[in-house]
Amino acid sequence: MDIVVLAGGISAERDVSLKTGAMVAAALRKQGHRVILLDVFMGYQGKQEDVADIFANSDKAGITETEISETAPDLAAVKASRGDASGCFFGPKALQICGMADIVFMALHGEDGENGKVQAAFDLLGIRYTGSGYFGSALAMNKEVSKALFQKNNIPVPSGVHMSKDRRVDDFEKTGLTLPCIVKPCCGGSSIGVSIVRSEAEFGRALAEAFRWEDEIIIEDYIEGRDFSVGVLDKKALPVIEIAPLDGFYDYKNKYKAGCAVETCPADLPEDIAAKMMRYAEAASEALGLESYSRMDFKLAEDGGIYCLEANTLPGMTATSLLPQEAQAIGISYAELCEKIIQVSLRRYEG
């Protein structure tokens, strides 16, 4: 097949997306596909006359792998580097090339790639793509909305409140929550802008950090306990994986720098707890109307309570990412996982 692996963009998770895209593209090429790795924002900088034969020259077209830094990228510098005055999210020739592909493998991460807008544009243009559709993507991206749907479907979540930038309240007591709490952007990912607050003095700084990334944030009771994640592939939960950071919590650095966390799959859990977490993951995916594949993050509290934290509609596929490790635990290699995601996604377009 002719496949575009779409990555990059202008979200805070740009670097992670480029790394995911590079790995997916390499795996699909080994499977015999003609693959273009394309930065959705930068687009294709080559000549227009070369576009017609771009898949025939796929080994020379597209972008190359980038490394993930320990901090989020400078998005102002990224936008300035494109060199044109257009504010369009899609870079030069990006939509044209995507439209030429048999399918677009969505390697985007963060708000701009996972909030459903790109998916909606592709639906209107008749471009086939992997992952969930625009509506499920939009529901999952907004943590306030997804939590409400989880609660309606009897999936336990931490207590919390929503706050907007224009109604910021720095008095922690007015939240009605107890310390410690966690402050995070409403629609972000990769733990960017997230702070654990253990004293009232830290609360204002945590608000400032979260509002630096978005105008809407979530403040929740912080659940002391162990971190887990469960992938869902073709409506079936994969084995539970445990994440134990060597230092601090599971932040941006600990997620993407090798050796910063110990990940165990299958997780060392009583069988009934693991089974319940997997059922919650499948139920969360269904509640949000997610398709093809996704991943749910969980906390197991010290008292044994399970809490679903959020849904990821386009989980990372880097060397340290969780979903590939879960698939590997049941004998699905990285390349096989990429292939299966494509085959499952193509079913949506049958008939």
Contact predicate 182/191, CB 8 Å = no
Whose CA is closest to 178, among 163, 159, 195, 192? 159
Cβ neighbours, 10 Å, residue 71:
11
Query: Rounded CA gap, 6 and 51, in Å?
Result: 16
Whose CA is closest to 142, among 90, 218, 52? 218
Collapsing DSSP states into helix, strand and coil, what is residue 181?
Answer: strand
Query: Rounded CA gap, 36 and 105, in Å?
Result: 10
Please report which helix (H) or strand (E) contains residue 79, including its range: helix 75-81
Whose CA is closest to 233, among 162, 319, 322, 135? 322
Q: What's the pTM value of the predicted model, to 2 decimals?
A: 0.89
Contact predicate 179/223, CB 8 Å = no
pLDDT 10s per residue in the chain (351 long)? 999 999 999 888 888 899 999 999 999 999 999 999 999 999 998 888 889 999 988 877 666 556 666 666 778 888 888 878 787 999 999 999 999 999 999 999 987 789 999 999 999 999 999 999 999 999 999 999 999 999 999 999 999 999 999 999 999 999 999 999 999 998 866 577 899 999 998 999 999 999 998 899 999 999 999 999 999 999 999 999 999 987 655 555 545 455 678 999 999 999 999 999 999 999 999 999 999 999 999 999 999 999 999 999 999 898 779 999 999 999 999 999 999 999 999 999 986
Which residues belong to the active site? Answer: 13, 190, 256, 295, 297, 310, 312, 316
Q: 52-59: which pairs have CB atoms within 8 A and are 24 or more residues apart? A: 54/97, 54/100, 55/2, 55/100, 55/101, 58/2, 58/29, 58/34, 59/29
Phi, psi of 137 (to 5 degrees): -60, -45
pLDDT at 189: 60
216 bridge partner residues: 164
Query: Rounded CA gap, 203 and 301, in Å?
Result: 23
User: What residue type is 175 in one-letter code?
Assistant: T
pLDDT at 153: 97
Collapsing DSSP states into helix, strand and coil, what is residue 129?
Answer: strand
Strand ranges, E, within the chain: 2-7, 34-39, 103-106, 160-164, 181-185, 195-197, 216-221, 225-233, 236-237, 241-245, 261-264, 293-301, 306-312
- C-alpha distances in Å from residue 22, one per residue of 12, 136, 321: 18, 26, 14
pLDDT at 259: 65
At 351, list the tokens.
């008939």
Query: Rounded CA gap, 198 and 272, in Å?
Result: 32
